[in-house]
Structure 1
Amino acid sequence: MNAKHFLSIFLLILTFPFAHAQQPDQEYYEIRTYTLSSADQLQSLTSYFKTAAIPTFNKMGIPAVGVFNEMEKSDQLKLYVVIPYKTLEQYDAVQRHFLQEESHQKAGKAHLEAPFTAPAYTRVESSLLRAFSHLPFMEIPDRAERIFELRIYESHSEKFSQQKIKMFNEGGEIDIFREVGLQPVFFGETIIGAHMPNLTYLVTAPNIEAHRENWKKFGGHPDWKSLSSLPEYKDTVSKIHSIFLIPAEFSQI
């Protein structure tokens, strides 16, 4: 074997792990929920994501970040942010280097250097999800006017949570969603976060009326009636949280 041939093989072996790492089987999703005490805080945080945070995420290889407001008024103001990551390594890299980006420091100065007496937000909660095998990558809808529903399904044990995930995947529940017009954006198993064990998903529709009609069709679908009657899927969900969201005008999801 000559030196040139040996070098070619060596470089192929050396680069193979990196090439393989660029083709993940499924994504990961970070969901942040910001709680705010005033409309001014909400406006300031929204501006921060528009002018500083999202451009920095994009620069670091994340092509689409979702920013959402609650459709219905609640006791506390909230802002929801959805960030997809190709791998856990990318998630780690972003967490390590996000604040060090010079352009981010400059554009986000007002937010990053908010004083102790006037904080940028009251609190932020974060959860990390692993995408389902039957919907391994986020499906971003068109930019037309639309609403979103974020749903969280809690289970009373890890075993029953896995059964509910199986129901969506192998059982075909995601396929039924598509058939009735419940357009999925992502489905994920929460691997770090509150109210575990749980799964979380985001669906979308042009408006609330169409969305309600889609759910009505889902409830009456013969495949759903058959699937939900199977003993293996009984008692897999102990509590459901449903949050209706409207995307910010600059949201990329």
Structure 2
Amino acid sequence: MIHELRIYHCAPGRLPALHDRFQHITLKFWEKYGIKPVAFWTTVVGPTNQTLTYLLEWENLAEREAKWDAFIGDPQWQAKRAESEAKAVIVERIENQILVPTAYSPLR
């Protein structure tokens, strides 16, 4: 099992729009494609409070590639994403890491 850590750095004041998009749009598409979120976090103490950090769970890189590509390529998702950003961009930058657990990790 592997995990994907993603950090979305929002444009100033746009974190509420990102939360709204995840709650009402993104998670439905992820369910459609079998994408498994583990947890979502916002930053209370750190360099900025305009980030959303989340963790996804995958069986392997092949599963990740197939499901993520299907999600990203979905024309309905692309339209909903564009609609959510019609007034202003939401995410300015994304950090992405693929993580594998250590032998002593409680989460494996």
Structure with the bigger RCO (C-alpha within 8 Å, sep 6+) is: 2
Of Structure 1 and Structure 2, the greater strand share is in: 2
- Paired residue for 2:72, among 210, 219, 222? 219
Unaligned runs of 5+ in 1: 1-145
Shift in Å, 1:216:
0.4
Q: TM-score, normalised by structure 2?
A: 0.86
Query: Does 2:106 correspond to 1:252?
Result: yes
The alignment status of 1:147 with 2:2, answered yes or no, reads yes
Letter in 2 for 1:199: L
Larger radius of gyration: 1
Is 1:199 matched with 2:52?
yes
Q: Secondary structure at the match of 2:103?
A: coil
CA RMSD of aligned residues (A): 1.7
Structure 2 unaligned segments of length 5 or more: list them. Answer: none
1:71-150 matches, cutoff 5 A = 146-150=1-5
Please give the per-residue CA displacement for 1:214-237, whole angstroms capped at 9, x wherever unaligned: 110111224312211215564100
Question: Conserved in 1, the CA contact under 8 Å of 2:21 and 2:84?
Answer: no
Q: Percent identity?
A: 27
| Counterpart among 88, 93, 106 of residue 239 in structure 1 | 93
Distance in 2 separating the partners of 1:217 and 1:208: 14
Aligned: 1:184 with 2:60: no
The letter for the 2-side match of 1:245 is L
**How much does 1:178 deviate?**
2.3
